[in-house]
Amino acid sequence: MARPLFQQPLHDGWRFRAAETRLGDMEQFTAVDGWHAASVPGTVYQDLLASGAIPDPLVGRQEAAVQWVAERDWCYRLDFDLGADALRDRMALVFEGLDTFARLWLDGQPLAESDNMFVPLRVDITERLPHAGPSHHTLWIRFDSALRRGRALEAHHGARPLWNGDPSRLYVRKAPYHYGWDWGPTLLTSGPWKAIRLEAADLRIAELASPVVLGDDPAHARVDLHTRLDGDLLGSIALEHTLFDPAGTLIATHHSRATAQHTAALSVEAPQLWWPAGHGAQPLYTLHTRLVRADGTVVDAQQRRLGLRRLRLVQAPVAGEAGRSFVFEVNGREVFCGGANWIPDDNLLNRITPARYRERVQQAVDAHLVMLRVWGGGIYEDDAFYDACDELGVLVWQDFVFACGLYPAHPAFVASVETEARAAITRLRHRASLALWCGNNEDYMLAEAVGAYGPGGDLSRFEARAVYEQVLPTLCHALDPGRAYWPGSPYTASTGAEATVAGSGVRPSQDPTAGDRHSWEVWHQLMLPYQRYAEVGARFVSEFGMQSHPSMAVLEQSIPVGERFAGSRTLQWHNKAFSPVGADGHRRLAVYRADTLRHPDTLAAEVQATQFVQAEALRHAYEAFRRRWQTPGARGCGGALVWQLNDCWPVTSWAIVDSAGTPKPAWHAIRRAMAPLACAVRRGTAGVAAWAMHAGAQPMATQARWQLHTVEGDAVDDVTTRVTLAANATTELAPPPSWSVDPDRPLIASLALASDTCSARAHAWPEPYRWHCFPDPGLQIGSDADGTVTVQAARPAKGVWLDVPGTPATRFEDNFLDLLPGEVRRLRVAGTAVAADGIIATCLNTLQDPPG
């Protein structure tokens, strides 16, 4: 008779030490000295920090002082007891993740080996244990240096081209960013980074697939169930599936005799549909699957939450243009996917709590972003990340973990990748938030750069195409057939007669008329002015960005006092951006700041200046890309994902939320540009333009107020018109004739839209800002009895930034404000309450005071 599944976590009591080259394996683990307490799940860096053996690598330039850690092997050991009640017909040790080259022993005898950070390891130990009575056991794990092992593989197979990190990383199935990236430190962690447990089962649920089928009729849905069992099926065992609606009401059941493989279906009438944030609610159904004996004893059980929705990737002709669209459609509605790229939120992954995951995803939602791309140089994220995306309505573009390299494809490597991909797909395929599987990040782009892809490329050098165009899509089709697969990012599929041969090389990877594109002509490559973002758009812009410093609070925690000045060596150390000519992020940052603003004279002013430029650049970008979201059939751009949402350490980077979780001014600029109702204006020598972006499902009647002011605040024109905005589209607006008069005159053009339910504002100030003198705006900060803060200006104020030094928990609902003369803004405040006199307000006007 099958007994209930028994699980015993093996997390307490671990110890670790550095391996000594003079000792053999047995001697390493039986040595008496040198052992320290270890955290499991965890990594050696965390344990070394906790024991005081290394300095904090995120402070100053101490990263350099800890590189020796990656060159050593590390030993972990655990003594544990097993009670007689745990014994079953089948016993296993389960390792959810080992980072990365690991050899294991149980009771001094070899047990298993692992060489892929992303592959769970399940080892049958039934024959290793006594058949009765309690017992004592030892578990040993030796983690070999991934750097050394990778270099040995590279020496055997040959060096390969890449961007970022040590070239040996291409042979190692480990998070690529651990090797250092152009925004992150080099910290090659090792250790048992995920859970370890003893599992005893006579019978268990080995695999469960639960795809949701939603047809053209939204009144009916179906959950298909495919179950695979492992173990002894003797006796009367029932397989039960029960589905509960979001309110907890039982709505569908299935009972059958348990078999090794089983297929069933649950019908749902009048389903509550799951929508991306801002387009509807995110109801989640709960599926319970159980194995039950005749006497009612539960042998094994699983639970998961499902969102009922239909999602398609639409690639269709674009009216009046070449190529095809790249649009995500949810429940029959096309959705502009304004979003961001996601990197791991820490180099020491076990420090990221579920609360921190949810906070970051919530920050994306609060900025009206509906998609996060889990970038291929990181990891397949923790379940807590996908839980937050499911619950909050954020679509996930999921890269497989390949980034910026010409990866190998020899049989052992491909076999490891296949096992890794199978584990990732089966773990994540039930997620409502999961929108797309993508083969890699920038591998086609790199292959093209070295002549191994694209028109005229030697495709025989690009062996990993077999992974991206055969192995991965075959697995996705077999294991998750309802989800779109895309070979890489960026990638342009062939068209016409070549369409049947994926990646045939006839088209560049960066074609703006089809597929997705990384638009780095701004910042990288040509270093175009950010005002020209409209020229580098694409059908889907999956990367673009502008750097800035993090907050002063972050710098004060990570930069020594003597180095807290603009241009310091340590400040430059915390900017990892580089190009083929070397580490030049600080130089590019200086160029964009100098092109836009006058030279700041303090570190605080330098921080404010770079954050100002980033905010303005990303405002221009989102407004330009979203403008191309025209009416159905004319979706010139289907989405824009800024690089990047978050940081993994205190750094000057492209993130819009710094490593302390503080939103930068750019976050506020994006939030306004991506709001359900948003507008944009342009006035200058290049012409006059205005447009409104409305995400609602119905047309909207609005009142438009058009104003012109001098920089001193004198009113030049004030016109009100009525405008009806198209549903879920951009509407081009006709500015008043006065806007076209004397385009060289430095005027502030303002547009305010208002409907019965919402409003939007946009301003076009004369640029470049460094050419102009903006008088003191006469800012006044007040507070109401309910804690609301009021902000007003006597003269036009650009980029008003409100800050409360020393209280990072204080967050203003809106910030980085443009104010017209006499305009009053009332802002709610989250976090610590603050008096008006505790608020510091800065803006462009104060950043570059008039001379004299």
What's the DSSP call for residue 680? E
Contact (CB, 8 A) for 370 and 346 = no
Q: What are phi and psi of 633, to 5 degrees?
A: 90, -10
Q: Which residue has the higher pLDDT, 134 or 76?
A: 76
pLDDT at residue 44, as a whole number: 97
Count other C-beta atoms under 10 Å from residue 442's C-beta.
25
By C-alpha distance, which of 11, 6, 203, 10 is closest to 87? 6
By C-alpha distance, which of 302, 416, 135, 259 is closest to 125? 135
Could you give the dihedral angle defined by the CA atoms of residues 690, 696, 701 and 703, in that order, rounded to the nearest 10 degrees? -50
pLDDT at residue 506, as a whole number: 56
Residue 12 to residue 38: CA distance in whole angstroms? 9
Cβ partners under 8 Å of residue 187, min gap 6: 45, 57, 63, 66, 69, 70, 178, 347, 348
Count other C-beta atoms under 10 Å from residue 358's C-beta.
17
By C-alpha distance, which of 232, 207, 205 is closest to 3? 232
Which residues in 379-411 are b (16+ Cβ under 10 Å) and which e? bbbbebbbbbbbbbbbbbbbbbbbbbbbbbbee
Strand, helix or coil for residue 98: coil
What average pLDDT does the structure give for the chain? 94
**pLDDT band with cut points at 50, 70 and 90 for residue 849:** low
Residue 152 to residue 516: CA distance in whole angstroms? 36
Residue 767 to residue 29: CA distance in whole angstroms? 67
Reduced DSSP (H G I as helix, E B as strand, rest coil) percent helix, strand, coil of the chain, to 5? 25, 30, 45
* Catalytic annotation present for 359: no
Strand, helix or coil for residue 632: coil
Residue 242 to residue 224: CA distance in whole angstroms? 12
Strand, helix or coil for residue 791: strand
**pLDDT band with cut points at 50, 70 and 90 for residue 415:** very high
Residue 608 to residue 620: CA distance in whole angstroms? 18
**pLDDT band with cut points at 50, 70 and 90 for residue 785:** confident
Q: What is the rounded average pLDDT of the residues 423-443? A: 98
By C-alpha distance, which of 625, 465, 648, 433 is closest to 543? 625
Peptide bond into 768 cis (omega under 30): yes
pTM: 0.96
By C-alpha distance, which of 816, 770, 840 is closest to 604? 840
Residue linked to tokens 């790249």: 326
Q: Which residue has the higher pLDDT, 551 or 830?
A: 551
Residue linked to tokens 């438009």: 704
Count other C-beta atoms under 10 Å from residue 333's C-beta.
13
Contact (CB, 8 A) for 673 and 683 = no
Alpha-carbon separation of residue 803 from 48, 330, 669, 842, 843 (angstroms) = 36, 39, 16, 8, 11
Taking only the tens place, the pLDDT of each residue in 564-591 is: 999 999 999 999 997 665 678 999 999 9
User: Which one from 442, 463, 606, 623 is the annotated catalytic residue?
Assistant: 442
Q: What is the rounded average pLDDT of the residues 376-394? A: 98
Percent of the chain with pLDDT over 90: 86
Contact (CB, 8 A) for 343 and 381 = no
Taking only the tens place, the pLDDT of each residue in 197-233 is: 999 999 999 999 999 999 888 899 999 999 999 998 8
Cβ partners under 8 Å of residue 806, min gap 6: none
